[in-house]
Structure formats: structure tokens, C-alpha cells
Amino acid sequence: MALMDALFGKKKKEFKAACQITKEPIEKGCGYLLTTSQIITSKKYWDMVMTEPETMSYTISHFNNQSTGTQMRSMIFEKYATVGKPWIISDSIINYFEVDKTSAKDNAKKWWDSDGNFTPVQTGPANKNLESDSYKSARDYAVLEAGRSKAKMAS
């Protein structure tokens, strides 16, 4: 029976991943693993998020002093800031973040080796892992300032 199981048994499904920001596939053993706190403290990240096609209208509304745009930007921030799992990200986006790349790459290798179960220190929602001043600063930038230059050009 063991031979039959070996021949016809279910193979373990190969663990795969895609960048949680760009959605591009990441080859096994590659990429970087960041925490939510590391993600949300990046101004470059927020400038990108708040000027994507699906969010640009909220950004323009916000800078035109329409409260609905500001409310939506606040909800977008909360959506990302409350992510409880680590973020696997690709080489193409790592430069948006001011992090120790060697450590982030080592954490990604541990994450791959554990089929996505490894979690670095301070994984979890940003408000639970950042000093309140750092969290407030990240939130204020994301909600109130991100994308200002592009919104001014677009309006």
C-alpha cells in the first residue's frame, strides 16, 4: 500500500508567493519580509498608494478640502496599518522602504523555509508595534500629505 500511496498519493502543494504590493510572483527563497510597521512608515509607499488610479480621486478630493476624500484616505490607511501578518515584497519595491535589506532578506528566507509561517519580531498591526508618535506621524503623512504634488498636477 505504501508503494501505491507513493505513486498515486497527493503531492504536497508547492508553496508560492506574490509581492503583497505589486502582485508580481516571487521565486522561492527570494524577496524581502517586512512588518506592517516598516511598511506604513514609508512616505514613498504612501505617495504611491494614494496616487494609484483607484485612490487618486480621493486624493484630489482631499486636497480640494472635501471631507469624503480625507475620510477615504483615513480608511485606506487603517486597512494597511492593521495587517497582522508580515509582508513578502519583491526586489522591485524594496527601495520604497528604509529598512535593513540584509535582515529583511534573511527573514524572507526563514519565511520561505517555514512555508509562510515565520513571523519576525514586531509582526502585527502597526499601532501595537510602533511608538504612538511614530504611528501618528505615519498616519498624518498618509492621510493628510501623501500624493500632494501629483494631486495638484491632476486637478
Residues 42/34, Cβ–Cβ less than 8 Å? no
Q: What's the pTM?
A: 0.88
Residue 12 lies in a domain: no
Q: At what angle do helices 67-81 and 56-63 cross, to 10 degrees?
A: 130
Domains in the chain, number? 1
Domain of residue 118 covers 19-154
2 occurs within a structural domain: no
> Is 107 among the domain residues?
yes
Cell of 25: 510572483
Q: Enumerate the H helices of the chain as residue ranges.
A: 2-8, 36-40, 43-49, 56-63, 67-81, 101-113, 126-129, 132-140, 148-154
In angstroms, what CA-CA distances link 15 with 2, 87, 111? 25, 16, 11
**Is 42 inside any structural domain?**
yes
Structural domain includes residue 39: yes
Please indicate, yes or no, if residue 5 is contained in any of the structural domains.
no
Residue 111 belongs to a domain: yes
Per-residue pLDDT of the chain (155 residues), as tens digits, is 455 555 566 566 788 999 999 999 999 999 999 999 999 999 999 999 999 999 999 999 999 999 999 999 999 999 999 999 999 999 999 999 999 999 999 999 999 999 999 999 999 999 999 999 999 999 999 999 999 988 877 76
Query: Grid coordinates representing 134?
Result: 511614530
- Does some domain include residue 150? yes
Write down the pLDDT at residue 10.
59
